[in-house]
Amino acid sequence: MKKLLTLFTFSGLLASNPLLAQEVSGGFAAIDSNQKTLLIIIGITIGVIILLLVLMIYLMSFISTVFRKENPEIAEEPSWWESFKLKFVTGDIEEEQTKDKLMNDHSYDGIQELDNFMPPWLQWVFTGTIIIAFVYFGYYTVLGYGKTGVEEYQEEVRIAAIEAKARGESALASLDETNVTLDDSEAALATGNTIFQANCAACHAADGGGGVGPNLTDKYWIHGGDIKDLFSVIKYGVISKGMVPWEDQLNPKEIQEVASFILSLQGTSPAAPKDPQGELYEEGAEEPAMDSVSPADTTSFATDTTAIAE
């Protein structure tokens, strides 16, 4: 039973290694579901193998105990576990202790050094560290296969940059007229101005005063004056008015930037402003403040009123 508990304790120490736990926790979160399933299957398989080994060891101990009881002549012989400990773990302590002696030539202030023997397990550990040191030196320095700490850091930075770019592209793809927000940062407005001058100034004038298209500097809007309204109009266009959709030429981020720039033109004074068109838009108002004040609409309304009076 003690042997069984020793094996379980040793397995628990390996599993509770903080370095191993950190590496597994960091790597396990970064893999996909298929790889996680494969790792779980491998882990279960290894667990079953370890359990079978433990049962085999326990069975061997049980059979050995039975044989010892049935054969008194071998009862005094050490078991395989005791032989293993004697050879690799503890050594023949009693025999070595008879060799222990004070090292008279190692005396410091009356304190003498006892020449203790080194346990076999410690000898194997020391030998193993030497072997690992040679392998490590050859792998990392002589052959150059292993990555240095700097190279590992650079690789992690490269992977992080790729992941950040992927996250940005994912966020960019999810940007639409339902969740777009006003971006009034200097960089966004500068980019929006560039896009506006290249694609919109021909119809709305370079200063937004209007031409073929309506004036963008006043508070009157035909299709709404909110950032979401502008995003939708730019993205899908207004075919009946001659405005083409821009969703194939501009990505969602660029549409957001040019829409934000257009809203920044509010209150400016263009050189030749076009008469207001559409409805007065007030931010935060649930309904438009008034109907269109286009001169053509005013004339039409006056004509209809005169006709009714007659």
Under DSSP, is residue 246 helix (H, G, I), strand (E, B) or coil?
A: coil
pLDDT at position 198: 92
Low-confidence ranges of the chain (pLDDT < 50): 1-8, 10, 13-25, 98, 286-310
Angle at the Cα of 246 from the Cα atoms of 240 and 248, rounded to 5 degrees: 125
- State the Cα–Cα distance between residues 275 and 296, nearest whole angstrom: 10
Q: What is the pLDDT of residues 3-54, one digit of tens each?
A: 444 444 545 544 444 444 444 445 555 567 788 888 899 999 999 999 999 9
CA gap 276, 261 in Å, rounded: 19
Q: Tell me the C-alpha distance between 216 and 196, whole Å.
A: 12
* pLDDT confidence of residue 94: 54
Q: What is the pLDDT of residues 225-236, one digit of tens each?
A: 889 999 999 989
243 vs 239: CA distance, rounded Å: 5
Closest CA to 132 of 146, 118, 119, 120: 146
Tokens of 267: 């209150």
pLDDT of residue 6: 47
Residue 134 to residue 140: CA distance in whole angstroms? 10
Tell me the C-alpha to C-alpha distance, in Å, between residue 178 and each of 112, 181, 195, 255: 84, 9, 22, 13
Encode pLDDT of 296-307 as tens digits.
443 333 333 333
> What is the reported pLDDT for 45?
94
Token couple for 218: 């006043």
Q: Contact, 200 vs 258, CB < 8 A? A: yes
Nearest C-alpha neighbor of 257 from the set 230, 224, 284: 230
Query: Is residue 259 a contact partner of residue 230, using CB atoms and an 8 Å limit?
Result: yes
pLDDT of residue 102: 62
